[in-house]
């Protein structure tokens, strides 16, 4: 088995690799692309905004010179709109942590289909979260994505509620985990 190399990238470095990231996005979601939220254009639009956020960080997994997967996220802006579309009352402690800048959002975690079931997603996940200074992390998961959902619960995530962050996005489960 080859040795997997993990590499951290800043927002500027990630922006310079946006087309490569979009290529892998399309491969990972090939059967779920919908031409709207789940599309190359939609991904690139979101990525172009995310890479500009203070604290943005991306970790890639390199397998013999090929990007096998990546994860990225950023601290939620205290006055931002992250929780827009939350389907119930946001707990007060979540609101307070957000206002204090103590919540980190994982926006994307994916692995190329040929590289799945090798522990790459877990290594990316752990690497990104290991150096964070926030108190809480959040991630969204499609409830129909049973493998990802199961993995997150195994890794210590808990459901906070349901959220539809964009008008053209599906309704996701919003999960949280203390850091």
Q: For domain 4-178, which CATH number applies: 3.40.630.30, 3.20.20.20, 3.40.50.2000, 3.10.180.10? A: 3.40.630.30
Q: What was the pLDDT predicted at 167?
A: 85
Q: What was the pLDDT predicted at 101?
A: 94
Q: Which helix (H) or strand (E) holds 71?
A: strand 66-75
Beta-sheet pairing, 172-178 with 158-163? antiparallel
Proportion of the chain in helix, strand, coil states, percent, rounded to 5: 35, 30, 40
Beginning with the edge strand found earlier in the chain, give each strand of the sheet holding 66-75 in spatial order. 4-9, 57-63, 66-75, 103-111, 136-141, 172-178, 158-163
Q: How far is CA 141 from CA 92, 131, 145, 174, in A?
A: 22, 22, 7, 7
Span between the terminal Cα atoms of the chain, in Å: 31
Domain map of the chain by residue range?
Answer: 4-178
Q: What was the pLDDT predicted at 29?
A: 86
Residues 6 or more apart whose Cβ sits within 8 Å of residue 41: none
For the chain, list residues with pLDDT below 70. 1-2
Q: What was the pLDDT predicted at 2?
A: 63
Dihedral sign, Cα of residue 57, residue 76, residue 15, residue 64: positive
């Amino acid at each position: 088995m080859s040795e997997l190399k993990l590499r951290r990238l800043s927002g500027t470095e990630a922006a310079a690799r946006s087309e490569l990231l979009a290529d892998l996005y399309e491969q990972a979601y090939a059967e779920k692309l919908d031409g709207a939220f789940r599309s190359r254009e939609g991904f690139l639009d979101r990525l172009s905004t995310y890479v500009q956020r203070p604290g943005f960080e991306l970790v890639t997994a390199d397998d013999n010179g090929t990007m096998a997967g990546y994860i990225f996220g950023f601290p939620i802006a205290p006055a931002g709109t992250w929780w827009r579309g939350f389907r119930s009352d946001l707990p007060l402690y979540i609101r307070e942590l957000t206002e204090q800048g103590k919540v980190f959002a994982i926006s994307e975690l994916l692995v190329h289909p040929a590289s799945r079931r090798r522990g790459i997603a877990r290594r990316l996940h752990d690497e990104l979260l290991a150096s964070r200074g926030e108190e809480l992390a959040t991630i969204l998961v499609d409830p129909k994505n049973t493998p990802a959902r199961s993995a997150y619960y195994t890794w210590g995530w808990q459901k906070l509620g349901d959220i539809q962050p964009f008008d053209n996005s599906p309704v996701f489960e919003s999960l949280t985990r203390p850091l």
